[in-house]
C-alpha cells in the first residue's frame, strides 16, 4: 500500500516538473515562431540588405525607409557608454568589497547594491530625465533634453550591481591560500589584486562584461525615457537618439496600425535584437564555462 502511494507521489512530482520545464521551452519556441513569422512577412516587403545596411530609418513618415543602422547606432551608444562606465567601476567595487572592506562594511554595502539592482527600470528612466540630464545641462546648457549620454550613464548605473556582484563572486572563488602565498612573498594588497586576483579571474570578468552588454542591449524603459525617440546615425552622444528597444515601444504603443509594414518592422527589429543578445549570452556563458574548467 505504502509502495503504491510512494510511486504515485514520485510519478506526479515527475509530471509536475516536466510541465514546468515545458512551459519555459514552449515560451521560448512561441517567441521564436512569432518573431520569425512576422519578420518573414516584413522581409517579403523590404529586402534584408536594405534593412541591415540602410542608413535611414523613417518607418512612420513618408517616404518610408527601413534602414536599421540608426537604431543599431542608438543601441550601441547606450551599450558602449554604459559598459565603459560600469565595468571599471563595478570591478573597483568588487575589489573593495572582497579585499578591503571589513565584514561590517560589507554587510552594509551588499544590501545597498542589491537594492540598486531591484529598482524598476522605469524609475531609472525618471532619474535620468529629472536628475542626470539637468546635471549635465548645468555643465553645458546646449545639451538636448533627450540624449544618448544620459541614457548610457543611467544604464551603466543599472548594470553596475550585476558586474560588481559577478566580479565579487569571481574573486571569492580564488582560494585564499593562493592570495596568502602572494602575501607570504612580501606582496602588498595592491600587488596581490593586480597580479594574482585579476589575472586568475579575467575570464569571469570578461563573462560579466558580456552579460552586462547583453543587458544594456535589451534595456528598454530607461533609455526610452532618457535618450529619446529620434532614430539617428550620429556621432554626437549629447543629442537625442532612438534605440532598437525604444522603437519597439513606440510601435506597440499604437503609433503604427497593426498589420502594416511599419508594424511588422518592429518584429524585424525584435528579431535582430534577439539574435544580438543571444550571441552575447552564448559568448558569455562559454567564457564562464571555460573559467570553471580552469579551477580558479
Partner 1 sequence: MSASASENSEIILETKDLNVFYGDKQAIHSVNMQVKKGTVAALIGPSGCGKSTFLRSLNRMNDFVSTARVDGKVFYQGKNLYSKKVDPVELRSQIGMVFQKPNPFPKSIYKNITWGPKINGFTGDMDLLVEKSLKRAALWGEVKDRLHDSAFDLSGGQQQRLCIARTIAMNPDVILMDEPCSALDPRSTQAIEDLITELKRRYTIIIVTHNMQQAGRISDETYFFHEGNLIESGDTKQIFTKPSVQMTEDYITGRFG
**Minimal distance in Å, beta carbon 176 to partner 1?**
8
**Nearer of residues 175 and 259 to partner 1, judged by Cβ:** 175
**Nearer of residues 69 and 198 to partner 1, judged by Cβ:** 198
**Minimal distance in Å, beta carbon 65 to partner 1?**
53
**Minimal distance in Å, beta carbon 120 to partner 1?**
38
**Nearer of residues 187 and 221 to partner 1, judged by Cβ:** 187
What's the gap between Cα 184 and its chain centre? 40
Within 8 A by CB and 6+ apart from 170, the residues are 94, 201, 204, 205, 208, 291
Nearest to 155 by CA among 57, 84, 92, 256: 84
**Nearer of residues 20 and 177 to partner 1, judged by Cβ:** 177
**Minimal distance in Å, beta carbon 192 to partner 1?**
9
**Minimal distance in Å, beta carbon 295 to partner 1?**
7
SS3 state of residue 66: strand
How far is the CA of 229 from the CAs of 156, 168, 190, 254, 294, in angstroms? 20, 36, 45, 14, 45
Give phi and psi for 36, each to the nearest 5. -65, -45
**Nearer of residues 97 and 200 to partner 1, judged by Cβ:** 200
**Nearer of residues 290 and 294 to partner 1, judged by Cβ:** 294
CA pair distance 141, 153, nearest whole angstrom: 18
H-only helix segments in the chain: 2-43, 48-53, 69-95, 103-118, 121-127, 133-139, 148-173, 176-183, 189-192, 198-200, 202-218, 221-227, 244-250, 261-293
- HSE of 265, CA atoms in CB hemisphere, 13 A: 27
CA triple 167-170-174, angle to 5 deg: 140
Binding-site ranges for partner 1 (CB under 8 A): 102-103, 175, 177-178, 180-188, 191, 195-196, 199-200, 294-296
**Minimal distance in Å, beta carbon 202 to partner 1?**
10
**Minimal distance in Å, beta carbon 246 to partner 1?**
43
**Nearer of residues 185 and 253 to partner 1, judged by Cβ:** 185
CA pair distance 167, 163, nearest whole angstrom: 6
Amino acid at each position: 500500500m505504502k509502495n503504491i502511494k510512494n510511486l504515485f507521489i514520485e510519478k506526479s512530482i515527475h509530471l509536475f516538473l516536466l510541465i514546468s520545464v515545458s512551459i519555459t521551452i514552449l515560451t521560448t519556441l512561441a517567441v521564436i515562431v512569432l518573431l520569425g513569422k512576422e519578420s518573414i512577412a516584413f522581409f517579403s516587403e523590404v529586402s534584408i540588405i536594405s534593412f541591415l545596411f540602410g542608413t535611414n530609418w523613417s518607418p512612420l513618415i513618408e517616404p518610408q525607409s527601413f534602414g536599421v543602422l540608426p537604431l543599431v547606432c542608438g543601441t550601441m551608444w547606450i551599450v558602449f557608454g554604459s559598459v565603459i562606465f560600469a565595468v571599471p567601476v563595478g570591478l573597483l567595487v568588487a575589489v573593495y568589497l572582497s579585499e578591503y572592506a571589513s565584514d561590517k562594511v560589507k554587510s552594509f554595502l551588499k544590501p545597498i547594491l542589491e537594492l540598486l539592482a531591484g529598482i524598476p527600470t522605469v524609475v531609472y528612466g525618471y532619474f535620468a530625465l529629472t536628475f542626470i540630464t539637468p546635471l549635465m545641462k548645468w555643465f553645458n546648457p546646449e545639451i538636448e533634453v533627450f540624449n544618448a549620454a544620459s541614457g548610457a550613464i543611467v544604464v551603466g548605473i543599472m548594470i553596475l550591481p550585476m558586474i560588481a556582484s559577478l566580479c565579487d563572486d569571481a574573486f571569492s572563488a580564488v582560494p585564499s591560500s593562493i592570495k596568502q602565498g602572494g602575501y607570504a612573498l612580501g606582496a602588498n594588497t595592491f600587488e596581490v589584486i593586480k597580479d594574482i586576483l585579476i589575472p586568475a579571474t579575467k575570464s569571469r570578468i570578461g563573462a560579466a562584461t558580456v552579460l552586462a552588454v547583453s543587458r544594456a542591449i535589451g534595456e528598454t524603459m530607461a533609455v526610452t525615457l532618457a535618450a529619446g525617440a529620434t532614430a539617428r546615425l550620429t556621432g554626437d552622444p549629447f543629442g537625442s537618439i532612438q534605440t532598437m528597444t525604444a522603437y519597439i515601444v513606440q510601435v506597440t504603443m499604437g503609433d503604427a496600425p497593426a498589420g502594416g509594414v511599419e508594424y511588422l518592422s518592429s518584429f524585424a527589429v525584435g528579431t535582430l535584437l534577439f539574435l544580438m543578445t543571444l550571441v552575447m549570452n552564448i559568448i558569455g556563458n562559454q567564457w564562464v564555462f571555460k573559467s570553471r574548467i580552469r579551477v580558479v
